Amino acid sequence: MAEKAIVLPFSINSFGRVTDTTEMSKIWADRVRSVIGTALRERVMLPDFGTDIPSSVFETTEEADSQIQTEVIRAFNEQLSALTLDEVSSTFDEFTGVMNVDITYALPNDEVVNTSIGLVSIAGTAPVYEELQ
């Protein structure tokens, strides 16, 4: 029997039921986003779940990039061990202040998937509204 999971973001379909999927790439992409997007100690009953990526928004672009890569590798080793991490790359858009992190990994069935996550950076010397002008 195929694995079934609730689709994130949570939604209700036209029949009034919770939307779910059996598509493995969607199920695992949601799990990756859940782990990467959760700060350590954010979940009271699972304090080791997640990453320390939120603290990287206070760093310079180079330091943030290094910290994010380290945290993604740690998350895959400790919390997403069923997946095989292939590559972590990031780009920073200075105008929007968003660092896009692309994560390429192989699912347990060897299908290769790419998941993108955008992180807003607040690092800088001037307030955000002044830096954008």
Domain that holds residue 27: 5-131
Contact (Cβ atoms closer than 8 angstroms) between residue 20 and residue 30: no
What is the tens place of the pLDDT at every residue in 18-64?
999 999 999 999 999 999 989 999 999 999 999 998 888 788 888 98
Domains contained in the chain, number: 1
Distance in angstroms (rounded) separating the CA atoms of residues 118 and 101? 6
List the CATH number of the domain containing 49.
Answer: 3.10.450.40
State the alpha helices, DSSP H only, in the chain.
Answer: 24-36, 61-78, 128-131
What is the pTM for the complete model shown? 0.82
- The gap from C-alpha 68 to its chain's centroid, in whole angstroms, comes to 10
Instruction: Check whether 85 has a pLDDT greater than 80.
Output: yes
Contact (Cβ atoms closer than 8 angstroms) between residue 68 and residue 90: yes
Distance in angstroms (rounded) separating the CA atoms of residues 95 and 132? 7
By percentage, how much of the chain surpasses pLDDT 70? Answer: 89
Query: Tokens 């969607």 identify what position?
Result: 26
Peptide linkage before 9 cis (omega within 30 of 0): yes
The per-residue pLDDT for 43 is 93
